[in-house]
Homo-oligomer: A and B are copies of this chain.
């Protein structure tokens, strides 16, 4: 069987065009009704300093955050997605895989006051990447991770970490390759952040405004050597 991490990365190249159309045409309902506003709302009150959009994809969030006044750098492991982002501008975009960043944190050219991972941490190994992010964060900086809420996806499966498969069904678009992604429990997210030297300072759970169904988990974290404070 193919390594799911490699398969995941390959899927973002194979699916780059379909994904770019899907995002730009606003065809993911959860994003339109809740999760786009959640990540923008979390950042909008912060001072407008250097911001890293890690796993920026085709760049919609970078463009929005640039419009708010942040100095945005976007990175993504998929070269075709980075080219799509560069075509519309709104930031400095570079192709960098998470493996490259984990091995050479200086490639990110930090420090940043904000690092945002919006539905972009999809692999099984997080530790070295999170440590690299921490090394690129200012002492008063914040890391924002928005991800699928485990509550929204477990169905009848056991509540534990493991690989799942996204087929992109129902997105009104043909995706050439399914994407393996690594399911994490809430406690697993918190533990991974704690191990990497972060302190969780916020935990939000955006819901569907009509159904009340929980759609995402939005974690805010601060580097632990920061001055203690009540909230991020």
Question: A residues bordering B, Cβ < 8 Å?
Answer: 150-151, 154, 157-160, 185-187, 190-191, 194, 197, 199-205, 207, 211-214, 224-231
Contacts and interface: CB of A to CB of B under 8 A. Distances in A.
How many copies the complex holds: the figure is 2
Nearest to A214: B159
A214 B185 contact: yes
A160 to B, nearest CB: 6
Nearest to A154: B151
A interface majority secondary structure: loop
Contact of A190 (B158, B187, B203): B203
A201 B201 CA distance: 9
A150 B213 CA distance: 12
Contact of A194 (B151, B158, B191, B231): B231
A190 B191 CA distance: 15
Nearest to A149: B159
B205 A187 contact: yes
B228 A205 contact: no
B230 A205 contact: no
Contacts of A187: 203-205
A160 B212 contact: yes
A199 B228 CA distance: 9
Interface centre among A150, A190, A207, A225 (most CB of B within 10 A): A190
Given A157-B212, A225-B228, 4 more contacts: A150-B151, A160-B207, A186-B205, A224-B230
A159 B213 contact: yes
A130 B153 CA distance: 32
A160 B185 CA distance: 19
Contacts of A214: 159, 185
A45 to B, nearest CB: 16
B159 A205 contact: yes
A187 to B, nearest CB: 4
A158 B206 CA distance: 12
Contact of A229 (B159, B205, B224): B224
A160 B224 CA distance: 30
Given A151-B150, A151-B154, A214-B159, A226 B224 contact: no
